[in-house]
């Protein structure tokens, strides 16, 4: 299933919705009610994450029903149900309770450290480290982004995101995939000059990261990837383009620390909640920092269009604009 938070063509507020065909969407509350769900949020306009615990046990069943939507849709509309067209995609999870971004692709870590004149830290191989980023700065598909004050080195980062679907704690590796609602695309925009200034302090990225993070355009449920998962390894092609020119290409199978390992680590003595976002970290050569601005036409600048594409997840667009006065 393709889930999203959309602004309908004739609407004025975000709606948590499910795609029923190539063009039409249905709000999740009436969709689930139509198919007999009993434990639903009291508010029909609840955010997407509040529907995930109800959806999780029924992913395969509901995916099959969507494949038969021409038949179900006739009954749905006869009963007063309505479909919608999309005017805008918001981030699928508008405001997660937490956003943990990991550092799990060895090539990215090795190249980025080499550019700073540093060798690999042996501890990186032992611990799937993450930092808490800003859950209030997500932007959706085709939204505008600008470099923060004092920065002239705006960069993209090509990442795969996982969305947690149920409350969990002290998860074992065998349980980890069952905590995942689905996958989405993350563009972890970074101000490299601000990051470079603050990282030597040793606490982690802060103002170099917390101004904008692209998320979306959709959340595709875990059941759609059964053929792409081999034990802990998920294999999805990943690409980044700037103004139509491909700059980055990789695969999620290159993760040194797998998503199950990340979830195990994140949940140790800590609760994960529906809608929590976990980022893979940047795929190898998935940013201008690694590629070298001298090889890419420079850092991102006003007028640039950034496209991140991940297999089966679609394309996440962002427009670089000038910082408002």
Helix (H, G, I), strand (E, B) or coil at 217: strand
> What pLDDT shows up at residue 2?
98
Contact 219/163 with Cβ under 8 angstroms? yes
Cα angle vertex 310, ends 211, 259, to 5°?
Answer: 80
Kindly list the domain boundaries of the chain, sorted by start residue.
2-90, 99-320
Instruction: Give the three-class secondary structure for 118.
Output: coil
225-229 own/partner pairs: CB under 8 Å, 24+ apart: 225/183, 225/312, 228/311, 228/312, 229/177
Q: Map 142-167 to HEC letters.
A: CEEECCCCCCCCEECCEEEEEEECCC
Please state the φ and ψ torsions of residue 68, each to the nearest 5 degrees.
Answer: -105, 25
Domain 99-320 has CATH 3.90.850.10: yes
Nearest Cα to Cα of residue 255 among 285, 286, 229, 234: 234
Has this prediction a pTM greater than 0.95? Answer: yes
In this structure, how many other beta carbons lie within 10 angstroms of the beta carbon of residue 167? 12
Give the per-residue pLDDT at 203: 87
Per-residue pLDDT of the chain (325 residues; tens, 9 = 90+): 999 999 999 999 999 999 999 999 999 999 999 999 999 999 999 999 999 999 999 999 999 999 999 999 999 999 999 999 999 999 999 999 999 999 999 999 999 999 888 999 999 999 999 999 999 999 999 999 999 999 999 999 999 999 999 999 999 999 999 999 999 999 999 999 999 999 889 887 899 999 999 999 999 999 999 999 999 999 999 999 999 999 999 999 999 999 999 999 999 999 999 999 999 999 999 999 999 999 999 999 999 999 999 999 999 999 999 999 8
DSSP 141: T
């Amino acid at each position: 299933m393709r889930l999203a938070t959309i602004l309908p063509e004739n609407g004025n507020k975000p709606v948590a919705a499910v795609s029923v065909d190539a063009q039409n969407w249905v709000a999740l509350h009436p969709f689930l009610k139509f198919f007999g769900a009993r434990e639903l949020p009291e508010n029909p306009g609840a955010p997407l994450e509040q529907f995930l615990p109800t959806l999780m046990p029924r992913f395969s069943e509901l995916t099959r029903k969507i494949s038969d939507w021409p038949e179900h849709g006739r009954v749905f509309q006869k009963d007063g149900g309505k479909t919608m067209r999309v005017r805008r995609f918001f981030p699928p999870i508008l405001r997660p309770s937490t956003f943990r971004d990991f550092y799990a692709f060895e090539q990215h870590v090795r190249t980025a450290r080499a550019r700073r004149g540093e060798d690999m830290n042996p501890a990186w191989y032992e611990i799937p480290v993450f930092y808490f980023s800003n859950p209030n700065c997500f932007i959706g598909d085709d939204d505008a982004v600008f470099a923060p004050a004092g920065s002239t080195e705006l960069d993209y980062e090509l990442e795969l995101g996982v969305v947690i679907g149920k409350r969990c704690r002290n998860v074992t590796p065998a349980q980890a995939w069952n905590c995942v609602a689905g996958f989405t695309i993350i563009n972890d925009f970074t101000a490299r000059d601000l990051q470079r200034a603050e990282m030597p302090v040793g606490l982690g990225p802060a103002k170099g990261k917390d101004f904008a993070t692209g998320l979306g355009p959709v959340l595709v449920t875990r059941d759609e990837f059964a053929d792409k998962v081999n034990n802990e390894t998920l294999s999805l092609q990943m690409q980044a383009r700037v103004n139509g020119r491909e700059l980055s290409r990789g695969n999620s199978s290159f993760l040194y620390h797998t998503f199950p390992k990340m979830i195990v680590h994140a949940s140790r003595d800590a609760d994960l909640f529906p809608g929590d976002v976990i980022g893979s970290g940047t795929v190898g050569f998935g940013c201008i920092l690694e590629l070298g601005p001298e090889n890419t036409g420079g850092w991102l600048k006003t007028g640039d269009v950034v496209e991140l594409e991940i297999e089966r997840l679609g394309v996440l667009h962002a427009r670089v604009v000038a910082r408002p006065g």
